[in-house]
Amino acid sequence: MKYTMTLFTEFCTQVKEQYLCRETIEYSSCSLEKGWNIKFKKSGKTLCTIYLREGYFTVMIVVGRKEKEAVQAILPDCADRLQEVYERTKEGNGQRWLMIDLDDSGKLYDDIFRLINIRRG
């Protein structure tokens, strides 16, 4: 996987403009994913979190109890990679923390925005 900074910049700009949210750079000591990340928040709710990698970036979206039914309804129409991530991610406390590796602006990119839209509520 290889992305360009253009894709990363495009993604961040689209999140901020589409959802009128703010981003914060934070260091997470969470056992799931330690390290620096960028969180996009709206009204105190995290819409997504980005982890920069070498050659790609990972978008984390939490699918909770409130979002589960809506996400499962669109899942059959989503990119195969997203379906695989969803099925592979174990549910805990009624949540799935989807870690989606992104390296291009194709269908998966669009599907991530569908998930963020559901997350936004």
Q: What is the pLDDT of residue 121?
A: 85
Query: Tens digits of per-residue pLDDT, 40-97?
Result: 999 999 999 999 888 889 999 999 999 999 999 999 999 999 999 999 999 999 999 9
Closest CA to 72 of 93, 50, 91: 91
The model scores a pTM over 0.85: yes
DSSP 58-115: EEEEEE-HHHHHHHHHHGGGS-HHHHHHHHHSPPBTTBEEEEEEE-SSSHHHHHHHHH
Q: Are 68 and 33 in contact (CB under 8 A)?
A: no
